[in-house]
Structure 1
Amino acid sequence: MPLHLHIFEERYRIMVRHILDHDGLLGIVLIHQGLEALGPLPEPYRVGMLARMVEYETLPDGRMNITVMGIDRFNILDIDTVSQPFLLGTVETSPIELPRMIQVHRKARQLSREILAYLKELSRDNTDEIDVSNFSPPDDPMSLVFLGASLLQIPPTEKQPILEAPSVFDMMDIVERLYRRENGLMRTINATGELPARRAAWLN
């Protein structure tokens, strides 16, 4: 899935120019400690996603909009915080295992049902109506994992274990458990929210 990024801080503008001058590849990592901008270089989690820049736009004031596509997973072996104003890392790729397809597709069906239930619960509790009638989950297991992870409205730190899981089956299992938890919470919230409204209607 494409990821759209807005680049405004000078050190990351330099990074984008560096990427464009080289192979167009960059690492996407979640910050473990520190801040993304306006401060010392942060400390990232050690597992991230290798991505290729596929689109970029430079705005009149120097800010940039870029689009990247993930192509592989990596583990960070070493981090260089000295030679550039942005983080550089030595990494090794960490391919995601694909176990038996029957097992994967069975898990994919379960995950698709949880995603649909989640979207339906969101539509009940959202002033902007969410149309789920045309929702069609992707057939590709990896695409389903990343779609499911992107739709979940939870902190990014809760999603990091998905990326760190050894296989696509394990990834789907983590995402499915997160959806079951969130679906249960939303059903409870929606049910308790409806009860006072019903009582008010009876009183009227």
Structure 2
Amino acid sequence: MSDRKIILFALYRNINAIRPLEVTVINQKDVVPWKFPPKHEFMYGEWLREQFDKGAIPEPTYDPDLAILLSQLRENSINLFGPEATEVIEPVPMTDIRRAIKESLPGLIASIEGDEHNVILTLARMWLTSSSGRICSKDQAAEWAIPKLAKEHATLLEKAKKAYLGDYDDKWEGMETEIIELVNYLKRSIESSLNI
């Protein structure tokens, strides 16, 4: 236990919106030196609440999406205790971020039911990152993507952004066809940007 380092970071989020806590625990030895896919020891987020309530605690897992999270951490974290993120976590190569997007895409799309605004916004963020190499918040990604979309898609993405910010009732019943069309458009745009 003595060789373990305690390092606490918080990723900056919109402080005007109250959101549930998400926790990811990594062992520095699993990400330094950098290798893909990275591994987390423990993860908690609201999407896992039902699993936790049933007493099922997730095992340590290799997770391609963690490459994106670690890259965000290096750029946007607020140090709560210990050394800065840039001192203990190596840069994540853009090739691995692009690979993480490619590998995460099918599972993300499969999880859309009941999580529409999150999936739609994550797809917008994947599109922005795969196109420009920048990683930003979901609402910023929506702002980037909206002018590039047809009106019906832009309207739906704007609703997802408002739901994320707490400015729209997160109800998607009756919009299934429009959601599928937007998701398919975003998927094709991401794949095109990744040259798939």
- Length-normalised TM-score, structure 1: 0.26
| Greater Cα radius of gyration, structure 1 or 2 | 1
Task: Please state which structure has a larger fraction of its residues in strand.
Answer: 1
- Length-normalised TM-score, structure 2: 0.27
